[in-house]
Amino acid sequence: AVGYFLKPLDYPLLITRLSHLLDRQHAAPARVLIIDDDQLLAQHYRLVLMAAGMDVELLNAAQELMSALEVFRPELVLIDLHMPDYSGPELAGVIRQHEQWASLPLVYLSAETNFEQRVSALDRGGDDYLIKPISNRELVAAVRTRIDRARQLESLISKDSLTGLLKHASIKEIIEVEVARAHRDQQPACVVMLDIDHFKAVNDRYGHATGDVVILSVATLLRQRLRKSDFLGRYGGEEFAVILPNCDQQQAFRLMDEIRKHFSTLQFTHENSSFQCTISIGIAVTTDHPHAKGADLLVLADEALYQAKAMGRNLVRI
Ligand code: GH3
Ligand code: MG
Ligand code: MG
Ligand code: MG
């Protein structure tokens, strides 16, 4: 079987077939750790996955497992089921004891066809099974879809590390749900986009770290002033998106204008100098657009934001 896998023609073909995936994906290469005592086979899998644009590390002994996890930070681990020192399920059990690796995709690779053996291996913390021998394309597809899904989940669940707010994908999703709910309940909801004014100049003059302080203070102010039932996300670098359920245009304008005014009075300091900053805000309300989806209202709010910028900044526009 190994002889077939190592046929030299396979790799160039694989590279051309899969190179479009590399072009399409601007995301960082997927990181895969392979644990297998069969070095020849492990090398083969490594070449196949690397040809598909992934970063791959091999481990043929369990000793360096923890340091490999910590240093390489794999997004998926392929584990051979039968190895002389430790079995695959034993290793999976060790990995799963650590909270930080609790949801790391672990996939067994094995020629084991015994049903009971396979089930008991999954019981020990593995997520799935790939049966050897596996074709190149199947291996790439199996690894890629699992990593894509893990990344999607990560971006949906986790909070933005600087501000603790929802991330882009998450707030977008929530806005979709809340806008649909507002239409259904015939209640107004407002989608709001905020952007810090002349923020590039802040970074240029006072440095990136001070810029981060300004971003953080917008997040803090929004969190203080919004209701528990409102949703708040960091939409881009210094852009925020908010949805205010059960809030009409007038209420949203009043609230956002207070936030805008308050923010413009804050004093930031850098070394011996102090400076002020302003934000521009755009609002779109569901009741003005009875057929608009969340994404449409985000565009409308962004257009209103653009108008606020064009009219001189430090403004709220609807
Ligand atoms: P405008 O008033 O038109 O919005 O002007 P601006 O200078 O704010 O323009 P823009 O919104 O395009 O600038 C965004 C800048 O924010 C560019 C980028 O370098 C900076 N930025 C993005 N993310 C971060 C971050 O996390 N920290 C810091 N310090 N800066 C960031
Ligand atoms: Mg083996
Ligand atoms: Mg911006
Ligand atoms: Mg800006």
| Contacting residues for 310 by C-beta, under 8 A, at least 6 apart | none
Mean pLDDT for the stretch of residues 243-263? 98
d(CA 186, CA 79): 53
Per-residue pLDDT at 102 exceeds 80: yes
Residue 61 has a pLDDT of 72
197: DSSP letter: T
Q: How far is the CA of 313 from the centre of ligand 3 (A)?
A: 12
Per-residue pLDDT at 279 exceeds 90: yes
* Element spanning 275, H or E: strand 273-275
Ligand 1 atom with minimal separation from the 162 CA: 26
Greater confidence (49 vs 1) lies with 49
Per-residue pLDDT at 16 exceeds 80: no
Residue 216 CA: which ligand is closest? 1
Among 98-112, 126-140, 164-178, 293-307, the range with the most confident prediction by mean pLDDT is 293-307
Grade residue 262 by pLDDT with cuts at 50, 70 and 90: very high
Helical pair 136-157 and 39-51, crossing angle rounded to 10 deg: 60
Residue 84 has a pLDDT of 87
All residues with CB under 5 Å from ion ligand 2:
37, 80, 82
Q: Residue length, the chain?
A: 318
Reply yes or no on whether 90 is catalytic.
no
Helical pair 208-225 and 249-265, crossing angle rounded to 10 deg: 140
Name the residue with tokens 């905020």.
194
Mean pLDDT for the stretch of residues 256-282? 97
Per-residue pLDDT at 15 exceeds 80: no
Residue 34 is encoded by which pair of tokens?
């392979």
Residue 200 CA: which ligand is closest? 1
Backbone phi and psi for residue 56, each to the nearest 5 degrees, phi listed first = -130, 135
Measured at the alpha carbon of residue 70, what is the angle toward residues 68 and 73, in degrees to the nearest 5?
85
d(CA 211, CA 231): 23
Measured at the alpha carbon of residue 291, what is the angle toward residues 288 and 292, in degrees to the nearest 5?
75
Mean pLDDT for the stretch of residues 207-224? 96
Ligand 1: which of 200, 204, 206, 302 to mutate, most ligand atoms within 8 Å of CB? 200
Residue 243 has a pLDDT of 97
Q: Please choose, from the candidates 218, 239, 260, 251, the residue with its C-alpha nearest in 3D space to the C-alpha of residue 171.
A: 239
Ligand 1 atom with minimal separation from the 212 CA: 29
Q: Return mean pLDDT, the chain.
A: 89
Mean pLDDT for the stretch of residues 218-230? 94
Per-residue pLDDT at 4 exceeds 50: no
Mean pLDDT for the stretch of residues 42-57? 96
d(CA 101, CA 73): 10
Grade residue 7 by pLDDT with cuts at 50, 70 and 90: very low
All residues with CB under 5 Å from ion ligand 3:
195, 239
Q: pTM of the full predicted structure? A: 0.63
Residue 26 has a pLDDT of 54
Per-residue pLDDT at 266 exceeds 90: yes
Helices (H), the chain: 2-5, 10-24, 39-51, 65-72, 88-96, 115-123, 136-157, 168-185, 199-206, 208-225, 249-265, 294-310
Which one of 75, 178, 238, 239 is the catalytic residue?
Answer: 238
Residue 287 is encoded by which pair of tokens?
């009741």
Q: How far is the CA of 199 from the centre of ligand 3 (A)?
A: 8
Taking the mean position of all CA atoms in its chain, how far away is CA 219? 19
d(CA 218, CA 274): 17
